[in-house]
């Protein structure tokens, strides 16, 4: 019988992530576990995950300004968002699917529940895209700057402009859903979701303007790298230890 490879991943660095309960973000209060999480031995169930097969099936659809299927172009400030997906060892995470979604330029989502905000929908903008990372972990989306929008968390609450990013990575526990924010957004210090991440790590969610990415007469550019969990050591390394 062939032995499967069981890679060991470092435990999630929970101190780099938001707490489960963060009362300034009110909805967390009743949705946060209060009992201790149970730490387990990683088995094949944890060292594998849906990332590789899901990424094989997925199709690239990385231009959100034109993917509504209408033949039209989304309204808004066109941007390129690019960067790399790395693991915590600094190694690129190649061939992995990234799924993103966002509000349109007016701050409205194309979703039946987003009905209170009196901002227009854009028939040429779905707000969803996907991209598969290259050999070096690189990715590139073309989209528009999402508008900020009000939400009912507290009086006069506004979410800063953000793009939701979802990644599977190679294993079960490398799953990451995060949000990308924009450098210099005045709403960032006021946003409890952004501020739920600890002070030392929250700026890792902020994309920087990069003039090297900006394309003349076409789109301004932002650069943002993402870091997910990685294997502690390859099984081969362990054999030689």
Enumerate residues 106-125 that contact another protein by CB under 8 A: 109-111, 113-114
50 lies in the site for another protein, by CB under 8 A: yes
CB of 60 to another protein, least distance (A): 15
38 lies in the site for another protein, by CB under 8 A: yes
Among 23, 86, 141, 160, binds another protein (CB under 8 A): 86
Active-site choice (9, 25, 108, 109): 109
- Are the beta carbons of 51 and 96 closer than 8 angstroms? yes
DSSP of 169-220: -SSGGG-EEEEEEETT-TTGGG-HHHHTS-TTTGGGGEEEE-TTT-BTTTBE
Answer yes or no: 9 catalytic. Answer: no
4 lies in the site for another protein, by CB under 8 A: yes
* The pair of three-digit structure tokens given for residue 7, joined into one six-digit string: 């890679």
Beta bridge partners of 178: 165
Q: Which of 107, 112, 101 is nearest to 122 (CA)?
A: 107
* The pair of three-digit structure tokens given for residue 47, joined into one six-digit string: 């060292």
Stretch that binds another protein, among 38-46, 66-74, 139-147, 209-217 (CB under 8 A): 38-46
Answer yes or no: 14 catalytic. Answer: no
84 lies in the site for another protein, by CB under 8 A: no
Among 37, 118, 211, 239, binds another protein (CB under 8 A): 37
């Amino acid at each position: 019988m062939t032995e499967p490879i069981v890679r060991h991943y470092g435990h999630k660095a929970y101190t780099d992530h938001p707490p489960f309960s963060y009362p300034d973000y009110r909805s967390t209060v009743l949705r946060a576990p209060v009992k201790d999480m149970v730490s387990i031995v990683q088995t094949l169930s944890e060292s594998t995950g849906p990332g590789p097969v899901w990424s094989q099936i997925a199709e690239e659809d990385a231009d959100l300004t034109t993917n509504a299927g209408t033949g039209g172009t989304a309204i808004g400030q066109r941007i390129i968002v690019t960067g790399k997906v790395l693991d915590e060892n600094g190694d690129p995470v190649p061939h992995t699917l990234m799924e993103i979604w966002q509000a349109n330029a007016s701050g409205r989502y194309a979703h039946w529940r987003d009905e209170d905000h009196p901002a227009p929908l854009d028939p040429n903008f779905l707000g969803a895209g996907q991209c598969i990372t290259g050999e070096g972990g690189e990715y590139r989306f073309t989209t528009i700057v999402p508008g900020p929008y009000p939400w009912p968390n507290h009086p006069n609450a506004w979410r800063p402009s953000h793009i939701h990013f979802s990644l599977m990575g190679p294993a079960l526990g490398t799953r990451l859903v995060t949000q990308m924010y924009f450098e210099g957004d005045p709403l960032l210090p006021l946003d409890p979701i952004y501020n739920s991440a600890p002070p030392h790590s929250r700026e890792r969610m902020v994309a920087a303007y990069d003039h090297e990415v900006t394309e003349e007469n076409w789109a301004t550019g932002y650069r943002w790298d993402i870091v997910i969990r990685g294997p502690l050591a390859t099984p081969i390394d362990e054999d030689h230890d």
